[in-house]
A and B are shown apart, each in its own frame.
Chain A
Amino acid sequence: MTAVRRLATVLAAPLLAFVVAGVVTSLILLMAGDSVSRFWDALFRMPDARNFVNIINNSVVLYLSGLAAAICFRMKLFNIGVEGQYRVAVFAAAVFAGQAWLPGYLNTAVAVLVAMLVGALWAGIAGLLRATRGVSEVISTIMLNSIAGTLVAYLLRQVGERRGETMTTTPLPRDSWVGGIPLIPGEASKVYGFAVLAVLAGVAYWLILNRTRFGFELRATGASQPAALASGVDVKRMVVMAMLLSGAVAGLVGMPLLFGTDHAYASTFQSGIGFTGIAVALLGRNHPIGIALGAIVFSFLIEQSNVLDIVAQVSPDVVVVTQGVIVMSVVIAYEVVRRYRNTAEQRGVARSMGGPSGKQETEGVVA
């Protein structure tokens, strides 16, 4: 297959999904009696500098969340628990860093490790349950999400302090904050310094999955468990490892927010990132660049929808529908494209290799 054709089959599915999502969203707007043209004008207006920075920042967070989900998707494990994992992780990191036991950036670095460790352990519970007792990781991670929310709320009351209406952990010392990158000159809001962390995580994800033996075994387990087993992969151990790794990356999700803007964990800490990350991973086909594009698309939609009710008198919630339709259609479209590619390839091989092997099936068989 030529490079152009390969690129076309890669891009066909998401493009198709966007078109379908556009049509469905327009239909819903029509049915609700809203103005379709004003909606799209508002959604696709040029973001100004501040919106632009917001889109990037939100993409960074979603990207980490998408990576976490993608690690498990690569071996057909469904870690629905990124949500809970990042919450317990960021809480633990906030409590740790707030104590300021260590100076400056050392405090930051160790707090990030704490977050990864806690995220990994929280996900590891589901991994262990799956490996030892056969408990579906879908069920256990969903339940662990619920437990995580309650547990963090409880612990926050125990160790946190009251600030007005909300509970919050001890704020981080100033010298542990991670400063922003002034990407756009003259614009006050800055891009998270931890955007670098997301890039590094993406590179590591690609490297580990595509270039190491461990990554190969993980992908092989996802592609065919019996084949992986026969090739010598300890599948149960792999389940636990994948969950740990996924949880560790999930632990990073809250870091840009904690060290960049919030500087403490409060009951108002942004939620829902874990679920959106699943959608982003699906959209990006678990590919490190695909996930980045998916994260940008989702952040763009979220950011642009903020002003919908002012500019177009449309509820911003309709964008959630758009996102949902994108994900649903992209899953279907990927499958359609995959089948098309498979049959095309099979036919291609048969045509170019029209040799005797595979043709003379019945000869020489004695009845």
Chain B
Amino acid sequence: MSESASVPAVELHGVGKSFPGVVANHEVDLSVRRGTIHALVGENGAGKTTLMKILYGVQKPDRGTIALNGEQLTLHSPTDAIEHAVGMVFQHFMLADNLTVLENVILGAEGLYGIRDRARAKVAEISRAYGFELDPDELVETLGVGQRQRIEILKVLYRGARIIILDEPTAVLVPQEVDALFDNLRELRAQGNTLLFISHKLDEVLAIADEITVMRRGTTVASVKPSDVTAHDLAELMVGTELPSPSTAESTVTDQVRLELTDVSLVDPVGRSLLSDINLRIHAGEVLGIAGVEGNGQTELVETVVGIRRASTGTIELESRDITGWGARDRRGAGIGYIPEDRQRHALLLDSTVWENRILGHQTREPSTRGVWLNLRGARADSARILEQYDVRTPSVDTHMLALSGGNQQKFIVGREMSGDPVVLVAAHPTRGVDVGAQAAIWDHIREARKLGLAVLLVSADLDELIGLSDSIQVILRGRLVGEFDPQTVSPQELGAAMTGAEGEAS
């Protein structure tokens, strides 16, 4: 390690970070060589964001060491990180529209080169050096997305960053802009900068990265060279290769159709297609698993079934009743239970008590309400039942929701959504980010309910979960269902291929 070139720009060893009840990061090892583009891939929730926050000084790790250019250190804040030449380009731009390019770059860093000629010269110099083609005096509001992103990169370079973290930089770009961004990144690399590129778009990662580190469930699982792997090798690494044996319990699938989607498609206000020609059927006692790389229409599918979004075309039937035109409240009242992927935002009122949360989403049903009136006694008694039956650990039904750990919050949601004999349960990532104990309990509850005739639409990024629970698995890719698999016989290669669209249609 005497030569400076061989000292990694970033080296993490055994880094761990936990929040109450949530697996964030553990045993993370990462080594980024200087002057390279290093990609970090993984599903949402795999721990990429927490890791980046640790690197950028936003979060402090509980365990492990961080070394930058061979120097072991502790980062206390983003300011600290910037002083050590680490810069971050966020996915959501932080620019003032009514200021010029120059003003945006200087904003907050007035001490570096002043606010006048020296600053202007520096901005021009950086812009020229990397071929950014930005006019310092142009107003940001007139600029496109690609140019705005270049301003963000310019901002971190202006602040002296040599290690640049880019959080899903291509998520907001159209293909031509992606190419332009990649040219910029290659130029940055050529001039000795180190880039850490976070993404879950595998093709892009393969195109730009010198090295790839894969994260899964909070930890780094592999570091590979793009020349050695294919897109679906990466997909496999992301979701896990060791497939669990499917549940051996005999099938409980019946012939009564509970939920049926026919030719459902969804188009966003701009006219982009989010879901196309979705046809699926879930019977009583059946769990239908939806597999896919994040962002391929899972969220939209779930929200269309629950009624938060309205299908643009096609029909949705619940127990042979057409519910296409119904709103979310009517659908839930008719027996659709819903476990959303972002529980804290979509399923809970964190500042409210446990019993008030029992009412949420069940406003039209016993025992929470009676006609137009709330039934406080009913809601409290039934909350107590959920705490008991679902092993939710909290002192009382009067505790505020935000005092519960993530796992206990989720167990409460599962208990609530299982209340009142649901016909269909829509579960999006029901065990994401919860501890192992809660995960096992939630799986048991879903299996139990299935035995009693519940139909479940299960969206998950966790193959253990999908294969362990599902009676059949459908793969979603770019808003289409592209293949159906039997969890008893499916191989990870088949799933990987279907999820990435690597080898045509598999069905």
A-B contact pairs, 30 of them (CB 8 A): A210-B374, A211-B373, A212-B373, A216-B356, A216-B359, A217-B363, A219-B352, A223-B349, A223-B351, A224-B349, A230-B347, A231-B328, A231-B329, A234-B327, A346-B20, A346-B402, A349-B394, A349-B399, A349-B403, A349-B404, A352-B395, A357-B438, A358-B21, A360-B435, A360-B437, A362-B23, A362-B27, A365-B217, A367-B27, A367-B219
Given contact pairs A359-B435, A362-B27, a sample of 6 additional A-B residue pairs in the complex whose CB atoms are under 8 Å apart: A213-B363, A213-B369, A230-B347, A231-B332, A358-B407, A362-B218
Asked if A110 is at the interface of the complex by the 8 Å CB criterion, the answer is no
User: Measured between alpha carbons, how far is A143 from B329 in the docked complex, in Å?
Assistant: 35
What residues of A have a CB within 8 angstroms of the CB of B52 in the complex? none
**Cβ of B93 to closest chain A Cβ, rounded Å:** 21
What residues of A have a CB within 8 angstroms of the CB of B79 in the complex? none
Asked if B330 is at the interface of the complex by the 8 Å CB criterion, the answer is yes
**Cβ of B355 to closest chain A Cβ, rounded Å:** 11
Asked if B61 is at the interface of the complex by the 8 Å CB criterion, the answer is no
What residues of A have a CB within 8 angstroms of the CB of B406 in the complex? 358
What residues of A have a CB within 8 angstroms of the CB of B99 in the complex? none
What residues of B have a CB within 8 angstroms of the CB of A356 in the complex? 437
User: Measured between alpha carbons, how far is A353 from B395 in the docked complex, in Å?
Assistant: 7
What residues of B have a CB within 8 angstroms of the CB of A210 in the complex? 374
User: Measured between alpha carbons, how far is A232 from B393 in the docked complex, in Å?
Assistant: 28
B22 touches A361 (CB 8 A): yes
Given contacts A360-B435, A365-B218, contact A227 B374 (CB under 8 A): no
A230 touches B218 (CB 8 A): no
Q: Restricting to A188-240, which residues have a CB under 8 Å from any CB of B?
A: 210-217, 219-220, 223-224, 226-227, 229-234
Interface residue tally for chain B (C-beta within 8 Å) = 64
Asked if B197 is at the interface of the complex by the 8 Å CB criterion, the answer is no
**Cβ of A240 to closest chain B Cβ, rounded Å:** 16
Interface centre among A229, A230, A353, A359 (most CB of B within 10 A): A230
A-B CB proximity, top 8 nearest: A232-B329, A358-B405, A231-B361, A358-B21, A232-B328, A353-B393, A230-B346, A349-B403
User: Measured between alpha carbons, how far is A190 from B26 in the docked complex, in Å?
Assistant: 72
What residues of A have a CB within 8 angstroms of the CB of B217 in the complex? 365
B364 touches A213 (CB 8 A): yes
A232 touches B404 (CB 8 A): no
Asked if B430 is at the interface of the complex by the 8 Å CB criterion, the answer is no
**Residue of chain B at shortest CB distance from A1:** B398
B340 touches A360 (CB 8 A): no
Given contacts A230-B340, A231-B361, A358-B21, contact A213 B373 (CB under 8 A): yes
A362 touches B347 (CB 8 A): no
**Residue of chain B at shortest CB distance from A352:** B395
Interface string of B311-339 (1 = CB under 8 A from A): 00000000000000001111111000010
Asked if B360 is at the interface of the complex by the 8 Å CB criterion, the answer is yes
What residues of A have a CB within 8 angstroms of the CB of B338 in the complex? 230
**Cβ of B430 to closest chain A Cβ, rounded Å:** 15
**Residue of chain B at shortest CB distance from A341:** B400
Asked if A332 is at the interface of the complex by the 8 Å CB criterion, the answer is no
Asked if B308 is at the interface of the complex by the 8 Å CB criterion, the answer is yes
**Cβ of B27 to closest chain A Cβ, rounded Å:** 7
A355 touches B393 (CB 8 A): yes
User: Measured between alpha carbons, how far is A302 from B348 in the docked complex, in Å?
Assistant: 43
User: Measured between alpha carbons, how far is A135 from B410 in the docked complex, in Å?
Assistant: 36
User: Measured between alpha carbons, how far is A45 from B220 in the docked complex, in Å?
Assistant: 72
Given contacts A227-B360, A230-B338, A349-B395, contact A365 B403 (CB under 8 A): no
B347 touches A227 (CB 8 A): yes
Given contacts A211-B374, A358-B21, A358-B407, contact A231 B219 (CB under 8 A): no
Asked if B350 is at the interface of the complex by the 8 Å CB criterion, the answer is yes
User: Measured between alpha carbons, how far is A345 from B395 in the docked complex, in Å?
Assistant: 10
B332 touches A232 (CB 8 A): yes
**Residue of chain B at shortest CB distance from A224:** B349
Asked if A363 is at the interface of the complex by the 8 Å CB criterion, the answer is yes
A363 touches B349 (CB 8 A): no
Interface string of B356-392 (1 = CB under 8 A from A): 1001111110000100111010000000000000010
Given contacts A212-B372, A357-B393, A361-B436, contact A232 B345 (CB under 8 A): no
B18 touches A231 (CB 8 A): no
Given contacts A213-B372, A231-B363, contact A350 B20 (CB under 8 A): yes
B408 touches A358 (CB 8 A): yes
**Residue of chain B at shortest CB distance from A362:** B26
Asked if A32 is at the interface of the complex by the 8 Å CB criterion, the answer is no
Asked if A7 is at the interface of the complex by the 8 Å CB criterion, the answer is no
What residues of B have a CB within 8 angstroms of the CB of A365 in the complex? 23, 26, 217-219, 436
Q: Restricting to A51-99, which residues have a CB under 8 Å from any CB of B?
A: none
Asked if A342 is at the interface of the complex by the 8 Å CB criterion, the answer is yes
User: Measured between alpha carbons, how far is A1 from B372 in the docked complex, in Å?
Assistant: 31
Interface centre among A220, A224, A232, A346 (most CB of B within 10 A): A232
Asked if B307 is at the interface of the complex by the 8 Å CB criterion, the answer is yes
B374 touches A216 (CB 8 A): yes
Asked if B137 is at the interface of the complex by the 8 Å CB criterion, the answer is no
Asked if A186 is at the interface of the complex by the 8 Å CB criterion, the answer is no
What residues of B have a CB within 8 angstroms of the CB of A357 in the complex? 21, 391, 393, 405, 407-408, 435, 437-438
**Cβ of A208 to closest chain B Cβ, rounded Å:** 10
Asked if A4 is at the interface of the complex by the 8 Å CB criterion, the answer is no
What residues of B have a CB within 8 angstroms of the CB of A349 in the complex? 394-395, 399, 403-404
**Cβ of B390 to closest chain A Cβ, rounded Å:** 11
**Cβ of B362 to closest chain A Cβ, rounded Å:** 8
User: Measured between alpha carbons, how far is A223 from B348 in the docked complex, in Å?
Assistant: 9
Asked if B178 is at the interface of the complex by the 8 Å CB criterion, the answer is no
Asked if A33 is at the interface of the complex by the 8 Å CB criterion, the answer is no
Interface string of B21-39 (1 = CB under 8 A from A): 1110011000000000000
Asked if A46 is at the interface of the complex by the 8 Å CB criterion, the answer is no
Asked if A348 is at the interface of the complex by the 8 Å CB criterion, the answer is yes
Contact of B330 among A215, A223, A232 (CB under 8 A): A232
Asked if B141 is at the interface of the complex by the 8 Å CB criterion, the answer is no
